[in-house]
Structure 1
Amino acid sequence: MHRLTNQVRPYAWGARAAIPRLLGTEPDGTPQAELWLGAHHGAPSTAHCLDGSKSLPDLIARDPDRVLGPETAERFGARLPYLLKYLAAEAPLSLQVHPDAARARSGYEAEESAGIPVDAPHRNYRDPHHKPELLLALEPFDALCGFREPAATHADLVGLGSDLAVRLCEDLSHPDTHTALRAALTRLLSLPDVDRCRMIDEFVAEWVERDRPCAHAEIVADLAARYPGDPGAIAALLLNRLTLWPGQALFLPAGNLHAYLQGTAVEVMASSDNVLRAGLTGKHVDAPELLDVVDFSVLPIPYARPDFLDGRREFRPAAPEFALHEIGPGRITAHLPGNGPTVILVLRGDVELVAEVGEGVTLRRGESVFVQADSGPIKVEGHGHVIATTVGSY
Structure 2
Amino acid sequence: LESLVEALCWLGEGKLRAFYEHLMGLKEEKKDCLVAAALSFAETSDHPAWQEVCRLNQFYPGDIAVLSPLLLNVVELTPGQAMFLRAGTLHTYLEGTALEIMACSDNVLRGGLTSKHVDVPELLKTIEFVTVAPADVYLKPEREENGETRFVSPVDDFLFSVIQSEQASEPFQVKAAEILFCVEGHQCIRAGERSVELTPGSACFISAMAESYRVEGVGRLARATSTP
Q: Per the shorter chain, which TM-score range?
A: 0.7 to 0.9
Stretches of structure 1 lacking an aligned partner (at least 5 in a row): 1-155, 159-168
Aligned positions of 1:1-394 closer than 5 A: 157-158=2-3, 169=4, 172=7, 176-208=11-43, 211-301=44-134, 302-310=137-145, 311-328=147-164, 331-333=166-168, 335-355=171-191, 358-365=192-199, 366-392=201-227, 394=228
Deviations 1:71-103 (A, max 9, x none): xxxxxxxxxxxxxxxxxxxxxxxxxxxxxxxxx
Counterpart contact for 2:162–2:223, Cα < 8 Å: yes
- Point out the structure with the larger strand share: 1
Q: Secondary structure of the residue that 1:253 maps to in structure 2?
A: coil
> 2: CA distance between counterparts of 1:354 and 1:228?
50
Segment of structure 1 superposing worse, 332-341 or 183-192: 332-341
> 1: CA distance between counterparts of 2:57 and 2:121?
23
Stretches of structure 2 lacking an aligned partner (at least 5 in a row): none
Counterpart contact for 1:350–1:362, Cα < 8 Å: no
> 2: CA distance between counterparts of 1:234 and 1:176?
17
Aligned pairs, number: 223
- Give the number of the structure with larger relative contact order, counting CA–CA contacts within 8 Å between residues 6 or more apart: 1
> 2: CA distance between counterparts of 1:171 and 1:383?
47
Q: Secondary structure of the residue that 2:96 maps to in structure 1?
A: strand
Counterpart contact for 1:185–1:235, Cα < 8 Å: no
> 1: CA distance between counterparts of 2:203 and 2:16?
43
Q: Secondary structure of the residue that 2:188 maps to in structure 1?
A: strand
> 2: CA distance between counterparts of 1:196 and 1:367?
43
Counterpart contact for 1:172–1:181, Cα < 8 Å: no
> 2: CA distance between counterparts of 1:174 and 1:235?
14
> 1: CA distance between counterparts of 2:54 and 2:124?
25
What do you get for the CA RMSD once the two structures are aligned?
Answer: 2.5
Q: Secondary structure of the residue that 1:378 maps to in structure 2?
A: strand
Q: Secondary structure of the residue that 2:128 maps to in structure 1?
A: coil
Deviations 1:116-166 (A, max 9, x none): xxxxxxxxxxxxxxxxxxxxxxxxxxxxxxxxxxxxxxxx623xxxxxxxx
> 2: CA distance between counterparts of 1:247 and 1:232?
29
> 1: CA distance between counterparts of 2:9 and 2:86?
26
- Structure 1 moving runs of 4+ over 6 Å: none
Segment of structure 1 superposing worse, 331-340 or 229-238: 331-340
> 1: CA distance between counterparts of 2:211 and 2:168?
17
> 2: CA distance between counterparts of 1:286 and 1:248?
32
What is the one-letter code of the residue matched to 2:149?
Answer: R
Deviations 1:302-327 (A, max 9, x none): 11223222221123323333212211
The TM-score with structure 1 as length reference comes to 0.52
The percentage of counterpart residues that share the same residue type is 31
